[in-house]
A and B are shown apart, each in its own frame.
Chain A
Amino acid sequence: AQKITQTQPGMFVQEKEAVTLDCTYDTSDQSYGLFWYKQPSSGEMIFLIYQGSYDEQNATEGRYSLNFQKARKSANLVISASQLGDSAMYFCAMREGPGSGAGSYQLTFGKGTKLSVIP
Chain B
Amino acid sequence: KAGVTQTPRYLIKTRGQQVTLSCSPISGHRSVSWYQQTPGQGLQFLFEYFSETQRNKGNFPGRFSGRQFSNSRSEMNVSTLELGDSALYLCASRDRGNSGEQYFGPGTRLTVT
Contacts and interface: CB of A to CB of B under 8 A. Distances in A.
Interface residues on A, range: 20 to 34
Interface residues on B, range: 20 to 34
A33 B99 CA distance: 8
A54 B65 CA distance: 35
B103 to A, nearest CB: 6
Given A91-B43, A105-B48, A106-B56, A45 B99 contact: no
Contact of B107 (A44, A99, A104): A44
Given A99-B99, A109-B43, A43 B107 contact: yes
Contact of A37 (B31, B104, B107): B104
A65 B7 CA distance: 33
A22 B106 CA distance: 25
A44 to B, nearest CB: 4
B33 interface: yes
A105 B33 contact: yes
Given A43-B106, A43-B109, A111-B42, A104 B100 contact: no
The 3 closest A-B pairs by CB, nearest first: A45-B104, A109-B43, A99-B99
Interface of A: 33, 35, 37, 42-47, 50, 52, 91, 93, 95, 98-100, 102, 104-112
Given A45-B104, A93-B43, A100-B99, 9 more contacts: A45-B92, A50-B100, A99-B99, A105-B48, A105-B56, A105-B94, A105-B102, A107-B43, A109-B42
